[in-house]
Amino acid sequence: MTIIIDRTRERPATPGPVSVAGRQRDKAKPKGLYKARVPIYPKLVHGRWRWIKWALLIVMLAIYYITPWIRWDRPGGLPDQAVLVDFAGGRFYFFMIQLWPQEVYFITGLLVAAALSLFLVTALFGRLWCGYACPQTVWTDLYIYIERMFEGDRNARMRLDAAPMSFNKLWRKAGKHAVWIGVAFGTGGAWIFYFHDAPDLIRTFWIGTAPMTAYVSCAILTFTTYVFAGHMREQVCTYMCPWPRIQGAMLDEQSFQVTYRYDRGEPRGPHKKADSWDDRGDCIDCNQCVVVCPTGIDIRDGAQLECINCGLCIDACNEVMEKVGRPRGLIAYDTDAAVAARSCGQKPDHRLIRPRTLYYALALTLVAGLMVWGFSTREQLSAHALRDRNPAYIQLSDGAVRNGYTLKIANRGFETATVELRYAGIPGATLRIPGQPAANPLRVELEPNRITPLRVFVTTPADQVGEGSRDAAFEIRLDGETTRVPTAFDYGSQPQ
Amino acid sequence: MSENERDEHSGVETTGHEWDGIKELDNPLPRWWLWIFYACIAWSIVYWILMPAWPGLNGYTPGLLKQSDRADVVSELSALRAQRGRGEALLVSASLQQIEADPELQAHALAVGQSVFGDNCASCHGAGGGGAPGYPNLRDDVWLWGGSLAEIEHTLRVGIRSAHPETQMSQMPAFGREGMLDGGQVSDLTEYVLALSGREADPAAVGRAQQLYADNCAACHAPTGVGDRTLGAPNLTDREWLYGGDRDSIRAQIHNGRNGVMPSWEGRFSPAVIKALAVYVHVNAGGEASAASEAAAP
């Protein structure tokens, strides 16, 4: 069922000469391991997919630019930015969620879930991510839009590039690059707001007192945006991005992809108004699908690595089909299996539920479920007990034995928590924090949103002293919930 | 210079050198290597101008950037002093109780105390303050000269049997060695001390030692043997023994009367560091309350 299309490019028949003299001999011939870039001048197209792409472009740019400016009330001196990666404070804020660096596994889970959803979506509907949501696609689209504003559509741009330098060419080119750089700066500039209080940073950025990291990050992103979206464009997808190379593993003949229905289109050829449509395909070889393609390929060659599945060729072809009075959908989101079935005169069947999609959906549900479970059982408190090693135990004057601990209790809540600290597992043990009377349990106040270190001493009275080391635990009780911190109590070796 | 021979296979000139029939081709250096080499030369000139480079008769060329590791160290040290100054000022102005009660100040004092303790106190008292025979354990509840914050700070300041004019001084006589008591009397007193701490002792010897203890020991160790902190006299009824608690060790101590020495740290540490050290020792010993608050909370 696989269609093999020979797209082999011209290649030297023999491997290149290896000797120096041979190399010098061959200097006259064109050489190089890399194919020179063929400039691409994508033509503007109108239609459903182009409309969806514009809408998504606006939505996604809006999300990107507006998000850091959303405020979210948080108690105390905490930042009131809804989405903030606060490196200085060691916190990640996302609306009502606040993550500590120790909980980075939630981010890992989120990334794994994102990867699995990408797998699932790709198996079902092909490279939707590449075509509509990838920043490279979105910004390239925006840059081409700007280019079109200054230099006109495809034919005008080609003429301008071929023309000798003139004032007209100069100002158009200069204007385009200026706006490009402006957009790039806006991109890099918006990025840094995710890492610092936005209203504060936008002020300090211009008066030169913002952190150096802000300026450097902004400069790097300005540079990459300008280069990637302005100059490299489809080369990022074709040569740099690993995803086009991986995604083939998720696709099969039942995946919806931008597909040229060769069963309908072939044999292709020019068509004149009076000509009959009998004994020929619907493709009139007008090349419109090629000229609108942002990666400069011919979709009629079949699914290929360079195709980002943006659907612009669908719009272009539909426009032509309407003009020549043939049904739309010669190029459409379709599956290889369906096209093959139709070419054999069978009725195509689309199967969205397949082992592959089931596996991906199952894995995604599993990871998402784990995340939800992790979040819902996330405790406000977590604690570690470091037992003193030197000395491991202290014998007191009345024969009692004392062990020292440094107890670190993290209170993730936004309010002071008054907890009951109990020492369990050792008979008769009492707790004492220096400067306070001994008791078991102790009442301890934990400051909000921070780790409270406590020096805690546990004493076993002389008449209950045992031998060696015994398992014990600190129990921290808050509103009926108990956090258990396992540790040990060392009775030491007793004299006499 | 004569034309060197050319290699038939590659058409490249040889260098004219030959080793056992192997000839070296005179290929040019790789272009990328050559450019890096030139760039390094160019950079070295920039470096000469920017950085200290050339020695002169009385000094060296300082370079445009005026880079100096020595100046860096000086400025870093002064920054460190300024940084410490803030913490030290807080330590100086706050009382010992305030330092211990405030979590942030306490953490600062503990950090300072730990490093000072490791450098100065650990050699006798042990890295963890656990002590050794003859060197008091600073982690337990036995304090010869008092275990409250103020008492610990005082001991740190004036030392014990030190050269400080206000030093804490007490003297356990070497009863046996100096001939104040004979061997039998020392043995009897040993039995008496064992009995004081609730252990098995020869009743006859304890009876004989009653008067000996009252005459020789009770003045410092108190008639009941509980000792006296104002005199630095250890409690003989508990289970902690500075010089060992078994029969032989007790006899040796009565015979020899050893007395340890602790230097005075006043003048060697700033008052702030002494405070931090006092808080460090106090907190890590479980934080004995002062006499007043101890009475308030039984």
Nearest-Cα distance to chain A for B72, in Å, is 21
Closest CA to B205 of B195, B214, B219: B195
> Is residue A493 within 8 angstroms of chain B, CB to CB?
no
Are B11 and A437 a contacting pair at CB < 8 A?
A: no
Q: Return d(Cα B147, Cα B240) in angstroms, integer.
A: 15
The residue of chain A nearest to residue B240, with distances taken between CA atoms, is A397
Please calculate the CA angle B259-B264-B270 and round it to the nearest 5 degrees.
Answer: 160
Residue A154 has pLDDT above 70, yes or no: yes
Q: Residue A26: its pLDDT value, please? A: 56
The answer to whether A292 and A50 are in contact (CB under 8 A) is no
Q: Residue A7: its pLDDT value, please? A: 47
Question: For residue range A431-472, what is the model confidence (pLDDT) as tens digits?
Answer: 988 877 788 888 888 988 888 888 899 999 988 888 889 999
Q: Return d(Cα A447, Cα A425) in angstroms, integer.
A: 27
Question: For residue range A218-257, what is the model confidence (pLDDT) as tens digits?
Answer: 999 999 999 999 999 999 998 899 999 988 899 988 999 9
The residue of chain B nearest to residue A454, with distances taken between CA atoms, is B103
Instruction: Give the helix ranges, DSSP H, for A152-247.
Output: 154-162, 167-192, 198-207, 212-225, 234-235, 243-247
Are B284 and A435 a contacting pair at CB < 8 A?
A: no
> Is residue A494 within 8 angstroms of chain B, CB to CB?
no
Cis check: omega of the bond before A391, within 30 degrees of 0: yes
Q: Which of B130, B238, B287 lies nearest to residue A390, judging by beta carbons?
A: B130
Q: Return d(Cα A294, Cα A236) in angstroms, integer.
A: 12
Q: Return d(Cα A296, Cα A289) in angstroms, integer.
A: 9
Residues in chain A within 8 Å Cβ distance of B141: 396-397
Rounded to a whole number of angstroms, the distance between the first and last alpha carbons of chain A is: 89
Q: Return d(Cα A386, Cα A392) in angstroms, integer.
A: 11
Question: For residue range B192-251, what is the model confidence (pLDDT) as tens digits?
Answer: 999 998 888 899 999 999 999 999 999 999 999 999 888 889 999 988 899 988 999 999
Residues in chain A within 8 Å Cβ distance of B126: 390-391
Instruction: Give the helix ranges, DSSP H, for A102-134.
Output: 104-125, 128
Residue A285 has pLDDT above 50, yes or no: yes
Q: Residue A16: its pLDDT value, please? A: 46
Instruction: Give the helix ranges, DSSP H, for A349-461.
Output: 355-376
Are A435 and B286 a contacting pair at CB < 8 A?
A: no
At A4, list the tokens. 């093999």
Q: Return d(Cα B131, Cα B126) in angstroms, integer.
A: 5
- Please compute the mean of the pLDDT values over residues B177-187 and round it to a whole number: 91
User: What kind and span of H or E run contains A20?
Assistant: helix A20-25
Of A8-17, A86-95, A350-359, A362-371, where does mean pLDDT reach its minimum? A8-17
Q: Return d(Cα B41, Cα A301) in angstroms, integer.
A: 53
What are phi and psi for residue A454, nearest 5 degrees? -125, 135
Task: Provide the 8-state DSSP code for A131.
Answer: I
Are A397 and B140 a contacting pair at CB < 8 A?
A: yes
Q: State the DSSP string of B226-257.
A: --BTTTTBPPSSSS--TT--SHHHHHHHHHH-
Of A146-155, B68-77, B129-138, B288-297, where does mean pLDDT reach its minimum? B288-297
> Is residue B31 within 8 angstroms of chain A, CB to CB?
no
A95 phi-psi bin (left φ>0, alpha ψ -120 to 50, beta other): left
User: What kind and span of H or E run contains B47?
Assistant: helix B31-50
At A495, list the tokens. 């004299």
Question: For residue range B162-180, what is the model confidence (pLDDT) as tens digits?
Answer: 999 999 988 899 999 999 9
Residues in chain A within 8 Å Cβ distance of B127: 390
> Is residue A495 within 8 angstroms of chain B, CB to CB?
yes
Q: Residue B175: its pLDDT value, please? A: 93
The answer to whether A290 and A163 are in contact (CB under 8 A) is no
Q: Residue B82: its pLDDT value, please? A: 85
ipTM score for this prediction: 0.71
Burial state string for B51-76 with b = 16 or more CB within 10 A and e = fewer than 16: ebeeeeeeeeeebeeeeeeeeeeeee
> Is residue B13 within 8 angstroms of chain A, CB to CB?
no
The answer to whether B263 and B252 are in contact (CB under 8 A) is no
Residue B297 has pLDDT above 50, yes or no: no
Residues in chain A within 8 Å Cβ distance of B199: 496
Residues in chain B within 8 Å Cβ distance of A24: 11
Instruction: Give the helix ranges, DSSP H, for B128-270.
Output: 149-158, 183-196, 203-216, 218-221, 247-256
> Is residue A27 within 8 angstroms of chain B, CB to CB?
no
Q: Residue A31: its pLDDT value, please? A: 60
Q: What is the DSSP pairing of strand A450-460 with strand A401-411?
A: antiparallel
Instruction: Give the helix ranges, DSSP H, for A297-430.
Output: 312-324, 336-343, 355-376
What are phi and psi for residue B131, nearest 5 degrees? 75, -175
Best mutation target among B139, B196, B200 (most A Cβ atoms within 10 Å) is: B139
Residue A315 has pLDDT above 90, yes or no: yes
Q: Return d(Cα B220, Cα B229) in angstroms, integer.
A: 9
Q: Residue A77: its pLDDT value, please? A: 79
What are phi and psi for residue A92, nearest 5 degrees? -120, 120
The answer to whether A260 and A266 are in contact (CB under 8 A) is no
Q: Return d(Cα A262, Cα A253) in angstroms, integer.
A: 15
Residue A143 has pLDDT above 80, yes or no: yes
> Is residue A492 within 8 angstroms of chain B, CB to CB?
no
Q: Residue B296: its pLDDT value, please? A: 38
B298 band by pLDDT with thresholds 50, 70 and 90: very low
Residue A362 has pLDDT above 70, yes or no: yes
Residues in chain A within 8 Å Cβ distance of B101: 435
- Please compute the mean of the pLDDT values over residues B119-144 and round it to a whole number: 91
Q: Return d(Cα A82, Cα B131) in angstroms, integer.
A: 54
- Return the bridge partners of A419, or none: A444
At A277, list the tokens. 């449509």
Question: For residue range A184-223, what is the model confidence (pLDDT) as tens digits?
Answer: 999 999 999 999 999 999 999 999 899 999 999 999 999 9
